[in-house]
Amino acid sequence: MSLEPKITPTHLEDEKLGADHIEVAHQLDPESGADRTKKGANNQLDDAARLLAEAGGHVEYTYEDSRRILRKIDLFVCLPMCLTYFIQQLDKSSVSYSAVFGLQKETGLVGTQYSWLSSIVYVAQLVCQPLSSYALIVFPVKYWVMFNMVSWSIVTACTCLGKNFTGLLICRLFLGIFEATILPSFVLITQMWWLRREQSYRTIAYQIANSFAAIFGPLLSYGIGKATEKSNAIKPYQGIFLFMGCFSLALVPLVWFLLPNSPTSAKFLRHGNDRLIAIDRLKENNTGTKSSKFKWNQVWETYKDPKTYMWAAMWLCAAIPSGGIGAFGGLITKGFGFDTFTTILMQIPTGAIGITCLLLSIFITNRIKLRWPVLAVLCLFPIAGATALTQVNHKHTGGLMGSYYVAYVFSAIQPLLISWCNLNAAGTTKRVVTTATMFGALTIGNVIGPQVYLAREAPLYHTGLYVDIACWCILFILICSMGAYLKVLNKRQEARRVALGMPANLKDISIMGHAEAEAYRAELEEAMRASGYNRDLLNEKAFEDMTDFENPSFMYVL
């Protein structure tokens, strides 16, 4: 590994002042004596940079201090995220559980009307993405999330009043409007609070909460169905909607108490230097925390970036099968010959499959420090399982259920894809717009997914399964292509750093474990000390809200 700078530190500073996309330097105007700004990438520092500057630009702390702060962040940030995601999935899936209890018959749904009860949620989310993206930048994220959580909880409870297609469709439309912001919000929150090596585990944590919803949702629905099946006052499908909505509302006070707005204002970081430690530890990400200014130059860069379209295509290919099987999974398994209550219970293993696959995948990912090979292998399982579903004789219930469970490994793909995408963009506006674009592709996929499951093909749904197989095959190719492209981008970033006099062959500390990171820092600092290079210059732009294109210290995660 070559760590020696190619030119002197003094020369480096001269080079950096003239480099495109990099510098925001304060200088004295020789005539007026006033401070003037040389504008490069930005004209506003990150909120976090301001607080660090007020504290002298640096804070001393130990590894134990960092671990203590991390535990606080996990309690006050990750836990409410998990609770919110768990509740959101229960509310969104309530229509699938209700379908097993005769929703179509009780409300007179015909043709593709049931499919549209799933698709309309994602149509609403797609339309609301621009508003959600803007709100995430200009509003405190906690208040935006809580407003939407309260709103969708009320809508879910009110869905029990829907007794025909029109009433149900209106309720599902508003559910989509209020749920539109949750995934983009949580992506931004994750990037604001954790190091890149920590982000994968936290993203997987709230995605595992999704899988727990797949376990508890059927159990709750089973209990509600049993309690209401002989009731004249309320039908099982109405009881499911009413209970899910009220349960969601009951958790609002707890989420409100725990969830903070950002590291710069969190109340649980009021003691000593806790807030400064929480901010300073994020320097190695080179992605910033959150700027409160919407920057159009970062919007344009997002849509000039080929990665944006590759991510969008991947999310689309992951979402079409997810939307289809998510809406029709219960009906598919009911078609294997099970009664209503057995069908509900047969959905429980899907949650366990999701949790197991996520934990195993993220463990392997962090051991090999590569994401694309793990995702590529995961794609092979649903391809095999869905192919088997189209070929196994429909009288062989055991073979059909086994194939269905193998195909359900697909539930681990989307969370890992979200985590991978999160790590490869920088700049507040670019991160939010990138996520919004990805989420737009996700919603389009979830709109299309249920529509390819044709009512006339029940219970086989071969057209839907063939479309899903094609999507997973395309996704496999895209994942391998993205891995190769990110490797090329890292080579370009290294060339930029060398041209600026920075060390060559740097490793990404933000994805290393603590022991490995400490050993590499010591090695790096020793080499830099010998050459007179200041180690702090490597991350000096970490809080200037620069994009990955603008910041030569940014490293892409393969």
| Segment 207-240, tens digit of pLDDT | 888 888 888 888 888 888 888 877 777 888 899 9
Angle between helices 306-334 and 413-422 (to 10 degrees): 160
Q: Identify the helix (H) or strand (E) that includes residue 35.
A: strand 35-38
Peptide bond into 459 cis (omega under 30): yes
Which pair of structure tokens corresponds to residue 92?
Answer: 């969104």
**Angle of CA points 541, 545, 549, to nearest 5°:** 75
Tell me which DSSP letter residue 271 carries.
Answer: S
Tally of CB atoms within 10 A around 226: 11
- Looking at the structure, give the CATH architecture of the domain made up of residues 63-489: Up-down Bundle (1.20)
- Phi and psi at residue 459, to the nearest 5°: -95, 10
- pLDDT tens digit sequence for 479-506: 999 999 999 999 998 888 888 777 777 7
H or E, element range at 57 = none
Q: 88 vs 21, which has greater pLDDT?
A: 88
Q: Which of 421, 137, 437 is nearest to 290 (CA)?
A: 137
Contact at 8 Å (CB) between 344 and 221?
A: yes
Question: Per-residue confidence at 424, pLDDT binned at 50, 70, 90?
Answer: confident
Q: What is the pLDDT of residue 250?
A: 94
Nearest residue to 149 (alpha-carbon basis) of 259, 75, 249:
249
Q: What is the mean pLDDT of residues 374-385?
A: 95
- Helix runs in 45-102, H state only: 47-54, 63-73, 79-100
Q: What angle do CA 385, 390, 396 make, to 5 degrees?
A: 85
Element housing 462 (H / E):
helix 462-499
Question: What are the structure tokens assigned to 42, written together?
Answer: 């930005």
Shortest CA distance to 416 belongs to which of 491, 360, 461? Answer: 360
pLDDT of 470 above 90: yes
Whether the CB-CB separation of 327 and 118 falls below 8 Å is answered with yes
The HSE-up count of residue 442 (CA atoms within 13 Å, CB side) is 20
Q: How many residues does the chain have?
A: 558
Residue type, 427: G
| Confidence tier at 21 by pLDDT (50, 70, 90) | very low
Would you state the torsion angle of the CA atoms of residues 110, 115, 116, 118, taken in this order, to the nearest 10 degrees?
140
The overall average pLDDT reported for the chain is 80
Under a CB-based contact definition with an 8 Å cutoff, are residues 122 and 176 in contact? Answer: yes
For residue 469, the model assigns a pLDDT of 95
Task: Answer whether residue 542 shows pLDDT above 60.
Answer: no
Beta bridge partners of 28: 35
**Residues 408 and 383 sit within 8 Å (Cβ to Cβ):** no
**Rounded to two decimals, what is the model's pTM?**
0.73
Question: Tens of pLDDT along 124-136?
Answer: 888 887 788 788 8
Structure-model confidence comparison of residues 147 and 534, the more confident one: 147
User: What does DSSP assign to residue 503?
Assistant: P
Residues contacting 379, CB < 8 A, separation 6+? 413, 472, 473, 475, 476, 479
Would you put residue 26 in left (φ > 0), alpha (ψ -120 to 50) or beta?
A: beta
Spatial CA neighbour of 441 closest among 324, 322, 313: 313
Sign of CA dihedral 337, 339, 341, 344: positive
Kindly report the backbone phi and psi dihedral angles of residue 36, in degrees, each rounded to the nearest multiple of 5, phi listed first.
-125, 155
Distances, alpha carbon 148 to alpha carbons 71, 120, 162, in Å: 27, 17, 21
Token pair listed for 465: 């399964």
- Give the N- to C-terminal CA distance of the chain in Å, as an integer: 20
